[in-house]
Chain A
Amino acid sequence: MATQYYEFKPYNVGRWIVWGFFALILFLAPKVFTSSLSVTMLSQMGIAIIACLSYNMLLGQGGMLSFGHAVYSGLGSYMAIHALNMVSKGTLPIPVSLLPIVGGFAGLGFAVLFGFVTTRKAGTPFAMITLGMAELVFAMSLMFSEFFGGEAGVSGNRVVGQPFFGISFGPSTQVYYLIAVYTFVCVALMFAFTRTPLGRILNAVRDNPERVEFIGYNTQRVRYMAFIISGFFAGIAGGLGTILFEIVTAEVVGAHRSGAYLLFTFLGGATFFFGPIIGGVLMVLASVLLSELTKAWLLYLGLIFLFMVMYAPGGIASLIMMNLRVASFGFLRKLWVSYLGLAVSALVLLLGAAVMIEMVYHLQLNAAMGPTLRFVGIDLNTQSLDHWFGAIFVLLTGLGLFELCRRHYQHDWGVIQEDIEKEIKRRETL
């Protein structure tokens, strides 16, 4: 008789706690961060989370690198805003809160259409095809102005019809809660997907597409279906964006948006389910806050991405999980000195680099404003040689210190991994 083993048994309570906690955060967030900027950012985060999770269905779960995911979220946005305008005119009697579903089905429809051609190939050709498709759609957006609204885009008004129990979606907090509900439901659905046969076979396709054919599954069909489902959720994200911004312009299907999905999903971590959630939050923080802080934000982003690919290809999520694993064996205490060293030297390095970058950017972009600029509380003068040398000195010092700390850390980490292996073997014999 086979032993009964329920997959979630040790974590059943944990599961409810995690999801409950998630719902709680969603509920309380705007009460803690009350400024209107915060609420808008939180709303954007909800949308970004759905978009990045839908993207990771392809990247992390299916091994499909797409350079054109914004096509589906963007087309979902466009369909949603046209639907919104129809609702305003009275030709479409659906509540505004159901508009994201319209976006979802738009995304699904286009994924069915484009995906048929796109998923014929895998790997690098697939990536190039998605790139070509994205360019195609973006170029078409400039050609067909009835649907895409030309340069000005298409705008709408989400406050439409009778308020329902006082909900008119005028105030931004109401929009936030609508987005929060959708976020919770979509995250739950996408998580559930990973627990279904198709979800698991999709993982198998990622790991070994050829073998999958020999266990009875048509690999191309699996990819196509995943593509369609991913397009559905992307469309929902797009629809929510329509409600939030009330205007849709061609950039929603543009290469920058697709690139951002890729970048931040990868940064958050494609190998764990919650990675893209981190990625979505970061995406909003970077584009709203970081871009205000410094003009060089895209450069920083590119550099961070580069280093992530080289040293932490599993993203932030994998870094967290690796350390959690170490912590679960009780060894995390041994690393804190290394981490401290790394953090301090990284800060020094960052300071030096940032000062230099900021000064160069200032020279390039704000030269008319004179040679002085203020950066993180320091007055800098681009014409002062001292400042330049100072910055270079700090940069090099930071680099040297960081390299020292990194080696020390690597050594410590290696020792700890060995200790963990020994501990595992010891437990196996019990």
Chain B
Amino acid sequence: MEFFIISMLNGLSYGLLLFMLSSGLTLIFSMMGVLNFAHASFYMLGAYIGYSIAQLVGFWPGLVLAPLVVGMLGGVFERLALRKVHKYGHVPELLITFGLSYIILELVQLIWGRTAVEFRPPELLQGPMFTLIHHAVEGLSLVWGAAPAELCQAADTAVRVVCSPFPATRGFMMLVAVCMLIALWLMLTRSRIGLVIQAALTHPEMAEALGHNVPRVFMLVFGAGAALAGLGGVIGGSTFVTEPAMAATVGSVIFVVVVVGGLGSLSGAFLASVLIGVIQTFAVAVDYSFITLAQQLGIELSDATKNNSVVKLTLSQVAPILPYLFLVLILIFRPKGLLGTRDE
């Protein structure tokens, strides 16, 4: 039971992290028609810059400053490079962000090295946020923070007690993601700039004709998207691992998320992020394979079959490709995406 709750929360937090990233991507795409291939690279930059700032002045300043730096870099890139290829169409735009991702990867490896760096979360967030104690006799209970050793062991060794901690970093991740969501929603719907962005989202030429400086809005949105990715990076980097490969691992997943959710749909991205996050988290923790399924059904399998690599595959081994399987299924049965609106 506690496994379910903890896994659910873990999955939710991972999904929310994915959404932090895919929302920026969706905003940039909806606005400018550019699918920012370097979005995951901004995520990685955020983690590394956050790490460096944290080394200098601490985690909390890093949490605030790193996204700003990344956002600025994003804005600069838009102004200097991306703007120049607008006129060539969408393919060159995608290509230039593709090139940027290569460059960012090389620069990161150049500055910070090719191995992972230890980006530790701050004192406050180390350790569990709460611990679920499943006592075989007394049932489920919750303890804030880490559970003291004696609570995790019953006096009678025959009684099973399982302590499942929920990391504070994950909880913080969810908090930041939710706050970011709310802030984004408020800004888009309540503020003036939000209104302009919403207008430019669907009718950029019209918005420009009305006198709004659409190129500047573009730069703002691109920078904001990058900053959001950077924020995700600080959090993701400190929770998981900060290494050069982090861009690649999360990069392809968020592209799947936006296609599955429906290109251009924020709510679709949210749904897809949470779905994929939860399913993948559960899958990683489950060791079921066809063999266990056969055992449960009482089917006897030959030794040769049991050794077959497909049959032997556990769900946890398959977990990495689940998002892509999702992608294929969606494309076959619902090509527009879960909540897709634009038909590109």
- Selected interface stretch from A90-98, A167-175, A277-285, A293-301: A293-301
Report B173-226 residues with CB < 8 Å from chain A CB.
Answer: none
B313, A136: Cβ atoms closer than 8 Å: no
B102, A302: Cβ atoms closer than 8 Å: yes
State whether the Cβ of B263 lies closer than 8 Å to any Cβ in chain A. yes
Which of B100, B325, B344 lies in contact with A136, CB distance below 8 A?
A: B325
A132, B252: Cβ atoms closer than 8 Å: yes
B interface residues, how many (CB within 8 angstroms): 49
B328, A296: Cβ atoms closer than 8 Å: no
State whether the Cβ of B4 lies closer than 8 Å to any Cβ in chain A. no
State whether the Cβ of B248 lies closer than 8 Å to any Cβ in chain A. yes
Bound Cα distance A313, B81 (Å): 13
Bound Cα distance A280, B328 (Å): 31
Which of B88, B309, B320 lies in contact with A146, CB distance below 8 A?
A: B309
State whether the Cβ of B65 lies closer than 8 Å to any Cβ in chain A. no
Bound Cα distance A144, B106 (Å): 31
Q: Which residues of B contact A303 (CB under 8 A)?
A: 103
Q: In the complex, how many angstroms separate the beta carbon of B110 from the nearest chain A beta carbon? A: 6
A63, B100: Cβ atoms closer than 8 Å: no
Bound Cα distance A133, B256 (Å): 10
State whether the Cβ of A390 lies closer than 8 Å to any Cβ in chain B. no
B321, A309: Cβ atoms closer than 8 Å: no
A360 and B96 in contact, given A117-B332, A136-B324, A302-B102 (Cβ under 8 angstroms): no
Q: Which residues of A contact B256 (CB under 8 A)?
A: 128, 132
Report B24-49 residues with CB < 8 Å from chain A CB.
Answer: 29, 33, 35
A310, B106: Cβ atoms closer than 8 Å: no
B94, A299: Cβ atoms closer than 8 Å: no
A135, B252: Cβ atoms closer than 8 Å: yes
A123, B84: Cβ atoms closer than 8 Å: no
Bound Cα distance A122, B88 (Å): 17
Report A304-325 residues with CB < 8 Å from chain B CB.
Answer: 305-306, 309-311, 313
A-B contact count (CB 8 A): 127
Bound Cα distance A311, B309 (Å): 50
State whether the Cβ of A364 lies closer than 8 Å to any Cβ in chain B. yes
State whether the Cβ of A120 lies closer than 8 Å to any Cβ in chain B. yes
State whether the Cβ of A125 lies closer than 8 Å to any Cβ in chain B. yes
Bound Cα distance A65, B100 (Å): 17
Bound Cα distance A123, B34 (Å): 11
Q: Which residues of B contact A361 (CB under 8 A)?
A: 110
B327, A306: Cβ atoms closer than 8 Å: no
Bound Cα distance A302, B109 (Å): 14
Q: In the complex, how many angstroms separate the beta carbon of A52 from the nearest chain B beta carbon? A: 15
Q: In the complex, how many angstroms separate the beta carbon of B223 from the nearest chain A beta carbon? A: 19
A129, B96: Cβ atoms closer than 8 Å: no
Q: Across the two chains, which residue of chain A brings its CB closest to B331?
A: A117
Q: Which residues of A contact B332 (CB under 8 A)?
A: 117
Bound Cα distance A121, B260 (Å): 13
State whether the Cβ of B310 lies closer than 8 Å to any Cβ in chain A. yes
Bound Cα distance A357, B35 (Å): 30
Q: Which residues of B contact A364 (CB under 8 A)?
A: 109-111, 113
Instruction: Give A residues with C-beta under 8 Å from B.
Output: 63, 65, 117-118, 120-125, 127-129, 131-133, 135-136, 139-140, 143-146, 255, 259, 262-263, 266, 296, 298-299, 301-303, 305-306, 309-311, 313, 357, 360-361, 364
Instruction: Give B residues with C-beta under 8 Å from A.
Output: 29, 33, 35, 81, 84-85, 88, 90-92, 94-96, 98-100, 102-103, 105-107, 109-111, 113, 248, 252, 255-256, 258-259, 263, 308-310, 313, 317-318, 320-321, 323-325, 327-328, 331-332, 335, 344
Q: A131-B252, A136-B321, A313-B88 are in contact. List 14 more A-B contacts (CB 8 A).
A: A65-B91, A118-B331, A120-B335, A123-B91, A125-B259, A129-B327, A129-B331, A136-B324, A144-B310, A145-B309, A146-B308, A302-B100, A309-B92, A309-B96
Q: List 6 A-B contacts (CB under 8 A).
A: A128-B255, A143-B309, A262-B95, A299-B103, A299-B106, A311-B84
